Amino acid sequence: MAEADGNGGLNRWSLEGMTALVTGGTKGLGHAVVEELVELGVTVHTCSRNEAELNKCIHEWEIKGFKVSGSVCDASSRAEREKLMSNVSSLFNGKLNILINNVGTNVGKPTEEYKEEDFSFLMATNFESAYHLSQLAHPLLKASKAGSIVFMSSVCGVVSVTGGSIYGATKGAMNQLAKNLACEWAKDNIRTNSVAPWIIRTPLTEPVLSDEKFYKEVISRTPMGRTGESKEVSSLVAFLCMPAASYITGQTICVDGGFTINGFSFPGT
């Protein structure tokens, strides 16, 4: 990895002039990451399965003056992932500074009720897509001489959270992949890290958070006594891509209000 700036200059905290691919950037945390990176000077390409949703976001970003382009892509499809990376390579002249593997979904069931198609779908969407896109992006990241991969993981890949054993397994695999790639690709000036959020308030989580019983349980297990905001995740993602984070690689960092470190309390304590 390129040496950190020894002059303490502001460029250590800047992403100005960099390029990024953010998968699934039209909603939720992906949308927040796209806007965070653009506001810090990154030229971003994103993707979505939904063409109408993608076009709507691109139009809104154009009005804001943001440098964002997009492709229609189902990240669970190998052929579409290859086409996406080919587009990115052409767009950014064979170089890429940042890859944010954000695409993910869940099918919540008890383990004994999962079907073969559930397993295949979740593994392909959550883990295989991130693995393959990282492979495809490797020469582009290496060519930039300062590459960074961030996997959008989950606390479900760190601790047991009821709601989907396959989902948790995909996120745990993602965390381990970050460690392996950090070691394999350090020689190529590529850093890899995972960000693992707990419940973050987005349009996607509003339906479950509207369940008062569920919401109270979330709050009771979270030392900070609240859910997270998307900007609290996107800011960490952006930091991990900065020169200021040049010695951080192979890490899984939880953004969870203390959820994963919250122990057991005896009565009266």
Of 114, 131, 167, 247, which one is the catalytic site residue? 167
> Given this model, what pLDDT does residue 24 score?
96
User: What value does the CA radius of gyration of the chain take, rounded to a whole number of Å?
Assistant: 18
CATH 3.40.50.720 for domain 19-200+229-257: yes
> Given this model, what pLDDT does residue 162 score?
84
Average pLDDT over residues 154-182: 95
Which 3 state secondary structure label does DSSP give 218?
helix
Judged against a pLDDT cut of 50, whether residue 165 lies above it is answered with yes
> Given this model, what pLDDT does residue 7 score?
41
Q: Is 167 a catalytic residue?
A: yes
- pLDDT tens digits for range 69-123: 999 999 999 999 999 999 999 999 999 999 999 999 999 899 999 999 999 999 9
Average pLDDT over residues 11-35: 96
Indicate the pTM of the whole model: 0.93
Distance between CA atoms of residues 171 and 153, nearest Å: 5
Q: What pairs with residue 47 in β-bridges?
A: 23, 71
- pLDDT tens digits for range 237-258: 999 999 999 999 999 999 999 9
